[in-house]
Structure 1
Amino acid sequence: FVAPGLIVMAMMQNAFANSSFSLLAGKMQGTIIDLLMPPLSPGELMSGIIAAAITRAIAVGFTVALAMALWPGVSLSMAHPWAVVWFGLMGSILLATLGLATSIWAEKFDHNAAITNFIIAPLSLLSGTFYVIDNLDPAFQWVSRMNPFFYVISGFRYGFLGATDMGSSTTVIAAAVGLAVVNAGLAAGTYALLRSGWKLKS
C-alpha cells in the first residue's frame, strides 16, 4: 500500500526541485541571460525545462521502485499499467509546472524554500500516502479530496493494487481527466508568465 505512494511522491518532489531551480539559479548567479538570449520561444524554453524535470522524476521513480522491489515481501506487480503511467506523468507535470512558476516568481532561495516547506511538503504529507482517508473524520476526508496530490497518489496506487480510496473506477477516470485539465490550465498560466518576462527581464 505504501510503496506506490512513496514512489510517486518521490517523483513529484524531484520534478518540483528540478524545475524550481531552473531559472532561480540563473537569477541568483547572474546567468539568466544565457537562458533568455538563445533563439528559443517561451514555449520551447518551458517545454525543455518541464521535460528535464519529468526525466528526473522518471529516473527517480525507477530507482525508488527498484529499491522497493528488493525489499522482502514487497510486490510491485501492476493491475492497471495505464494508471501507473498516466498518473505518474500527470503528477510529474503538475509539480514540474508548479516548480517553473515558483522559479519565475522567486527572487531568492528562501522564497523557493518557503513554497517547498509550506505548500509542497504539507500537500504531500496530507495526500493519503501513508493512510487510507476513509479512516479520517468526514471533515478531514473533504480536505484530502480537495488536495490534487491525493488524486495523483491514489490513481498511481490504483495502477498497482487495482483498488483506490477515491471510489469506483469511474472516479479514477474522472480524476485522470481532471488532472489533465488542471495541468493544462497551470501550463497556460505559467506560459503567460514566462512570455511576459515578469521578474525575468526587469
Structure 2
Amino acid sequence: MNLHGVKAIYLFEMARTWRTLMQSIASPVISTSLYFVVFGSAIGSRMVEIDGISYGAFIIPGLIMLMLLNESISNASFGIYMPKFTGTIYEVLSAPISPLEIVAGYVGAAASKSIILGLLILATSRLFVDFSIAHPFAMIGFLALTAVTFSLFGFIIGVWADGFEKLQIIPMMIVTPLTFLGGTFYSVNMLPPVWQTVTLFNPVVYLVSGFRWSFYGVADVHLAVSLGMTLVFMLVCVGLITWIFKTGYRLRT
C-alpha cells in the first residue's frame, strides 16, 4: 500500500476545501440552517409531534442526510473530474500508485469533508432545536458509511461526466428529489398504505430511516434492512469502479 501516494491525493483535495471555505463549508451550513429556521422553528412550532418527537427535532437527521448525500457526490465527482478536465489524470494514472490507492485518496477526502460538514450542521442545529442522540456511536458509524458510499457514487459520476453540467444532473434531478420524498420532512407511516409501499422503492428512505433511528430509536424501516441496503449500494459502486479501472472507461480516452 503506497500510503505516500494516498496521502498526497488526500491532502491535495483537502487543501482545496480550505482554500474555498465559503463555498465548501459556509454555504452548506448556512443553507441547512435556513431549513431549521423555516421548518424547525417557524413551521415546526405549529405542528404536532411525530412518534413522540417534536417536528423540529424529527427533521434533523433528514436534513443532515440531504446535505451529506449532495456534498459527498459533489466533492468526489468534482475531485476526479478536474484532473480529467485539465489532463493531469494521466500523471495520476502513470504514477506508481494502484487504482485502490487512487480511489482511497479521492474518496477519503470527499468523505472526510462530508463528515466534517455533517458534524458542523449537527452542532449548528443545537442553536435552533433541542434534541438528543440515543445511539451516538451508531450515528457516527452511519454518517461515515453513508459519506463513503456516496463519495464512491460521486467518483463514478465524475468519471462518467464529460462536462460541468453533467456533474449536477444526477444530484439535482435524482438524488435531491429522492431525498425530499424519502422521509426527510415526514414519517413514511403518515402516508396512505399504497404510497407507503411505493415509497419503499426509494433507496433514500432506508438511509434517512436508519440515521433517524440512531438519534431517537425510531425508524420507518428495520435497522438491519437500512444497513443492508446501504452496504449493497456500496458494493455496487465498488464493482463499477473496479470495472472503470479495468477497462479505462473515460480515463484513458
TM over 0.5: yes
How far, CA to CA, are the matches of 1:49 and 1:15 in structure 2? 11
- One-letter amino acid of the counterpart of residue 210, structure 2: G
Unaligned 5+ segments in structure 2 are: 1-57
Structure index of larger Rg:
2
Quick one: which of 120, 124, 129 aligns to 2:175? Answer: 120
Q: Which residue of 2 aligns with 1:74?
A: 130
SS state at 2:79 partner: coil
User: Is 1:188 paired with 2:188?
Assistant: no
How far, CA to CA, are the matches of 1:110 and 1:86 in structure 2? 32
How far, CA to CA, are the matches of 2:198 and 2:142 in structure 1? 20
User: Is 1:198 paired with 2:249?
Assistant: yes
How far, CA to CA, are the matches of 2:193 and 2:80 in structure 1? 41
How far, CA to CA, are the matches of 1:141 and 1:150 in structure 2? 11
Unaligned 5+ segments in structure 1 are: none
Shift of 1:70: 1.9
Q: Which has the higher contact order (CA 8 A, sep 6+)?
A: 1
Q: How does 1:146-161 map to 2 (within 5 A)?
A: 146-161=201-216
Contact 1:79 1:162 in 2 (8 A): yes
Shift of 1:107: 0.4
How far, CA to CA, are the matches of 1:62 and 1:82 in structure 2? 13
How far, CA to CA, are the matches of 2:202 and 2:107 in structure 1? 22
Contact 2:74 2:167 in 1 (8 A): no
Moved over 6 A (4+): none
How far, CA to CA, are the matches of 1:172 and 1:67 in structure 2? 26
Contact 2:64 2:122 in 1 (8 A): yes
- Per-residue CA distance 1:113-151 (angstroms, 9 max, x = gap): 211221111122111111111122333322321222111
Contact 2:80 2:106 in 1 (8 A): no
Identity between Structure 1 and Structure 2 (%): 30
Q: Which range is displaced more, 154-163 or 2-11?
A: 2-11
SS state at 1:116 partner: helix
* TM-score (ref. length: structure 1): 0.89
Contact 2:212 2:219 in 1 (8 A): yes
* TM-score (ref. length: structure 2): 0.72
How far, CA to CA, are the matches of 1:52 and 1:188 in structure 2? 20
1:133–1:185 distance in 2 versus 1, CA, 3 Å: same
Shift of 1:9: 2.1
1:143–1:52 distance in 2 versus 1, CA, 3 Å: farther
- One-letter amino acid of the counterpart of residue 26, structure 1: P
User: Is 1:37 paired with 2:89?
Assistant: no
User: Is 1:26 paired with 2:77?
Assistant: no
Q: Which residue of 2 aligns with 1:51?
A: 108
Contact 1:144 1:150 in 2 (8 A): yes
1:178–1:115 distance in 2 versus 1, CA, 3 Å: closer
Q: How does 1:89-168 map to 2 (within 5 A)?
A: 89-166=144-221
Shift of 1:53: 1.2
How far, CA to CA, are the matches of 2:229 and 2:143 in structure 1? 14
Contact 1:128 1:153 in 2 (8 A): yes
Q: Which residue of 1 aligns with 2:65?
A: 8
